[in-house]
Structure 1
Amino acid sequence: MTVSTTQKTEALFRDDFYLSTCEGRVIDVLEDGGIVLDRTCFYATSGGQPGDLGFLERSDGSRIEIAITRTGATKDVIVHVPSEEQARLEVGEDIVAHIDWPRRYKLMRMHTACHLLSVVCPYPITGAAVGEDESRVDFDMSETIDKDAVTAKMMALVRENHPITLRWITDDELLANPDIVKSKNVRPPVGLGRVSLVCIGEDAAIDSQPCGGTHVSETQEVGDIHIAKIEKKGKENRRFRIRFGPPETAA
Structure 2
Amino acid sequence: MPTEAIFRADPRARACTARVLSAGPEGVVLDRTVFYAQGGGQPGDVGTLRWDGGEMAVANAVKGPEGTILHLPAPGAALPPAGAEVAAAIDWARRHRLMRMHTALHLLCSLIPGAAVTGGQVGPDRSRLDFDLPEPPAKEWLTERLNALIAADHPVGERWIEEAELDASPGLVRTLSVKPPRGPGRVRLVRIGPEAAPVDLQPCGGTHVRSTGEIGRVEVAKMESKGRQNRRVYVVLAGEG
TM-score band by shorter chain is over 0.9
Match of 1:221 in 2: 214
For residues 13 and 144 of structure 1, the distance between their equivalents in structure 2, rounded to whole angstroms, comes to 34
Match of 1:55 in 2: 48
Q: CA deviation at 1:90?
A: 1.8
For residues 24 and 194 of structure 1, the distance between their equivalents in structure 2, rounded to whole angstroms, comes to 27
Q: Does 2:8 correspond to 1:8? A: no
Q: Does 2:17 correspond to 1:23? A: yes
Match of 2:91 in 1: 100
Specify the SS of the correspondent of 1:202.
Answer: coil
Assess, with a 3 A threshold, how the Cα gap between structure 1 residues 152 and 231 changes in structure 2: closer, same or farther: same
Equivalences for residues 27-176 of structure 1 within 5 A:
27-30=21-24, 32-60=25-53, 62-74=54-66, 76-122=67-113, 123-176=115-168
Runs of 4 or more consecutive aligned structure 1 residues displaced over 6 Å after TM superposition: none
Equivalences for residues 222-241 of structure 1 within 5 A:
222-241=215-234
Q: CA deviation at 1:139?
A: 0.3
Specify the SS of the correspondent of 1:126.
Answer: strand
Q: CA deviation at 1:192?
A: 4.1
Q: CA deviation at 1:158?
A: 0.3
For residues 172 and 22 of structure 1, the distance between their equivalents in structure 2, rounded to whole angstroms, comes to 35
Q: CA deviation at 1:134?
A: 0.3
Specify the SS of the correspondent of 1:169.
Answer: strand
Q: What is the aligned length?
A: 239
**TM-score, L = length of structure 1:** 0.91
Indicate if the aligned counterparts of 2:125 and 2:240 stay in contact, CA closer than 8 A: no
For residues 39 and 51 of structure 2, the distance between their equivalents in structure 1, rounded to whole angstroms, comes to 27
Indicate if the aligned counterparts of 2:136 and 2:231 stay in contact, CA closer than 8 A: no
Q: CA deviation at 1:219?
A: 0.2
For residues 26 and 173 of structure 1, the distance between their equivalents in structure 2, rounded to whole angstroms, comes to 38
For residues 79 and 222 of structure 2, the distance between their equivalents in structure 1, rounded to whole angstroms, comes to 45
Q: CA deviation at 1:195?
A: 2.2
For residues 18 and 186 of structure 1, the distance between their equivalents in structure 2, rounded to whole angstroms, comes to 24
For residues 94 and 175 of structure 2, the distance between their equivalents in structure 1, rounded to whole angstroms, comes to 25
Q: CA deviation at 1:174?
A: 2.4
Indicate if the aligned counterparts of 1:10 and 1:40 stay in contact, CA closer than 8 A: yes
For residues 148 and 36 of structure 2, the distance between their equivalents in structure 1, rounded to whole angstroms, comes to 29
Counterpart code for 1:112: T
Identity of aligned residues (%): 45
**TM-score, L = length of structure 2:** 0.94
Assess, with a 3 A threshold, how the Cα gap between structure 1 residues 145 and 250 changes in structure 2: closer, same or farther: farther
Assess, with a 3 A threshold, how the Cα gap between structure 1 residues 94 and 170 changes in structure 2: closer, same or farther: farther
Indicate if the aligned counterparts of 2:62 and 2:71 stay in contact, CA closer than 8 A: yes
The two structures, once aligned, show a CA RMSD in angstroms of 1.6
Assess, with a 3 A threshold, how the Cα gap between structure 1 residues 22 and 103 changes in structure 2: closer, same or farther: same
